[in-house]
Amino acid sequence: MKNLNDYPDLPEVAETGMTFEENARLKAETISKLTGKMVLADDSGLKVDALGGLPGVWSARFAGNDATDLENNAKLLHELAMVFDLKDRSAQFHTTLVVASPDKESLVIEADWPGYINFESKGENGFGYDPLFLVGETGKTSAELTMEEKNDQSHRAQAVQKLVEVFPTMAKQTIIVMSDSHGDRAIVEEIKTYYLGKVDAIFFIMVILSCQVMTKCGKEFTL
């Protein structure tokens, strides 16, 4: 079993890309080259059509580098203050996954979760923009869904389902799972949910780049 001490010199990988794929590639391919391991990285965020796709890759820092979820939500509502019809407030939660392995072409998978931006926050679950994101035509925000309901339909769930179709043939080795500070737990839980029973053994190592902290978030699953 790999120990986190096996990776004491992993650098922080700055998300300098202008797209979700660029950021996910930066993380996955950089760490893959440094460690010689297969690396799964994601970059996720909210795209609002009326704002030309913003906040996009700047979702976590829409209201500033150190912005809280409340501040980001407040800025989003401010930006949409003159958009009065719900149908004009369409949006998508987006995830791009990149699987990188030394000397191999990276695998890129994308998924969107469509919905609308509500006029006020509702719900107590989730994080980020969940209290404002109305899921499809349900009338419920993401923050009003249970974890099980969210994991059945979210952008990350859809991306992981796509990944599962090709991943079992690649996955019989140590994997470094990287994600942003919000998405780390979600993406790992999705992977655990879908991969158990599909591969022989997987080690999950989560790298929370924004905090420069590494935390063991899984164990060896032997079937």
Among all residues, which ones are annotated catalytic? 43
pLDDT digits (tens, 9 = 90+) for 3-54: 334 666 777 788 899 999 999 999 889 888 888 888 888 899 999 999 999 9
Partners of residue 109 on adjacent β-strands: 97
Using a pLDDT cut of 70, give the percent of the chain over it. Answer: 71
Peptide bond into 8 cis (omega under 30): no
Rounded to two decimals, the pTM is: 0.76
pLDDT digits (tens, 9 = 90+) for 123-142: 999 899 999 999 999 999 99
SS3 assignment, position 158: helix
How far apart, in Å, are the Cα atoms of 119 and each of 34, 132, 141?
45, 7, 11
